Amino acid sequence: MPQTTINEILNKFDIRDADIKRIRGAAPVLKRELDAFIADFYTWMAQHREYQTFFASNPSRLDRVKQLQRVNWNTFLEADLNQAWFDARKHVGAVHAHIDLPNDIYFAGMAVSTNLMADRLRKAKGEVKDLDDTISSLTKLMYLDAFVVIEEIARINREKLSAGAKALMEMSTPVTPIWEGILLLPLLGILDSQRTQDVMNKTLSKIAETRAKVFVMDISGVSSMDTAVANQLLKITKATQLMGCETILSGLSPAIARTLVELGVNIGEVRTTATLRDSFELALRAVGVDRKLIATG
């Protein structure tokens, strides 16, 4: 993250040099109280079910997390708001994303931490100058800390979602060679423009790769058909034709046939069959499989 971006973020959170100076001024008091502060935090945490989920069965994990928290708060109070400070917060976010920590307990924990620190500053009133302003500065930095952590969690979740969507797209267009020179694509569910585009790209590259002569597109699992989808499917048949590969559309239900006719979609010279079996037979004949083999098979 470049310094200009860091400065922009600090400006948004209204964190000025005076705030950093005040936090650093209060740091000796809070660092002295850090063990007691962490103990209070886990007393609060123990009242919530997340404590049971994450720590009850694993006391060594609790010790490790307390140790990490000590390091985290030390760097927080040093308020050296550089790349390393942001990276450390992002790491916290990555850990929280990994263990799937609920947002409510995280935000509640940050609020409790802010109050616990403010209480300690109030008790050490004589040692801290400008108490109210210091608590205000501390709160701003807490918000910034929470933002960086949550932003990292959101980024990781976005990545997971995008990877999931990509995997789903891969699975939804399984163009498979089923015989020498024959490709089959069983289509299921809803066809939209993005998916038909994906079908087109996958089919053409698979034809180029396998040098297939016949492409059987089975639409018996397609839930609905409208003019746009029908035209997209026809485009795919024309595209395969330009690669020397004939498309057979199989699995046309009576309802889809009726819809196509009523919508006035002209399917032209595209070969269609009601069942996948019929398409397969046509495809085998097209690639020159012996008629007797088909009859006995």
Partner 1 sequence: MSVPGTTSVTGTRVRGCLVVTVSQDLSGDMLDEVRRVALEGIQRDGAQSAIFELSAVPFMDSMEFGELRKIARMAEMLGAKVIFVGLKPGIIVHLLEADADVRGVHAFLGLDEALHAIDSSPSPDAHG
Tell me the closest approach of the beta carbon of residue 12 to partner 1, in angstroms: 43
266 binds partner 1 (CB under 8 A): no
Of residues 201 and 224, the one with the C-beta less far from partner 1: 201
Element (H, E) at 105: helix 103-123
Strands 176-179, 182-189: parallel, antiparallel or unpaired by DSSP?
A: antiparallel
Whether the CB-CB separation of 250 and 220 falls below 8 Å is answered with yes
Under rule CB under 8 A, which residues in 34-53 are in contact with partner 1?
A: none
Tell me the closest approach of the beta carbon of residue 264 to partner 1, in angstroms: 17
Of residues 145 and 246, the one with the C-beta less far from partner 1: 246
Alpha carbon 143 to its chain centroid, in Å, reads 25
Build a one-symbol-per-residue string for 73-92: x at contacts with partner 1 by CB under 8 A, - elsewhere.
--------------------
204 binds partner 1 (CB under 8 A): yes
CB environment 87-107: b (16+ within 10 A), e (fewer): eebbebbeebbeeebeeebbe
Of residues 72 and 241, the one with the C-beta less far from partner 1: 241
Question: Could you give the C-alpha distances from 109 to 48, 106, 204, in angstroms and in order?
Answer: 11, 5, 54
Identified binder of partner 1 from the candidate list 144, 207, 249, 256, rule CB under 8 A:
207
- Report which residue type is found at 97: A
Stretch that binds partner 1, among 85-93, 115-123, 205-213, 250-258 (CB under 8 A): 205-213
Under rule CB under 8 A, which residues in 221-250 are in contact with partner 1?
A: 235, 238-239, 241-245
Closest by CA to 86, choosing from 13, 18, 157, 137, is 13
Note the residues at the interface with partner 1 (CB under 8 A): 200-201, 204-205, 207-208, 211, 235, 238-239, 241-245, 268
